[in-house]
Amino acid sequence: MTAYQPGLHLIGEADSPNLTKLSDASLFKVLVDELVAHHGLTKVGEVYHSFHEAGFTAAVCLTESHLSVHTWPEYGKVTFDVFLSNFKRNNDITTQSMFDSIAQYFEASLMHKTELRR
């Protein structure tokens, strides 16, 4: 057995001007499903929870780990993270691409990003 190959975990916080996207979990699910298919990942479970007249929380579990999003339309903010393991293949480029796609989706500005190897 090869040694454990730490994955890349990208963690972001940003402002977003798009109140529709900050409020509509079903739109975000379309994006996630497209990204999962495009990158050949495997979804094993998901939670999308919409708060009353507010934002939503999503967590999508993958065989390759997970991504999560919390939106705050009342503050014009979103926090999100993407963590893909490198168990069967190196997913670093995919992790970065998915993170960027989510940031682009929310038209993120004033973004702060943390990179962890774990």
113 binds a second copy (CB under 8 A): no
Per the CB < 8 A criterion, the answer to whether 98 and 11 are in contact is no
Q: Which stretch binds a second copy (CB under 8 A): 20-28, 29-37, 49-57, 93-101?
A: 49-57
Q: How far is the CB of 59 from a second copy (least distance, A)?
A: 4
Stretch that binds a second copy, among 24-32, 40-48, 94-102, 103-111 (CB under 8 A): 40-48
The alpha carbon dihedral of 101, 106, 108, 114 has a sign of: negative
| Distance between start and end Cα atoms, the chain | 19
Maximum alpha-carbon separation in the chain: 50
CB of 118 to a second copy, least distance (A): 5
Q: Residue 116 CB, nearest distance to a second copy (Å)?
A: 6
CA 51, 23, 32, 85 torsion: positive or negative?
Answer: negative
Number of residues that bind a second copy (CB under 8 A): 36
- Name the site residues for a second copy (rule: CB under 8 A): 1, 3-4, 6, 9, 11, 13, 44-49, 51, 57-63, 65-66, 68, 70, 72, 74-75, 77, 79, 83, 85, 112, 114, 116, 118
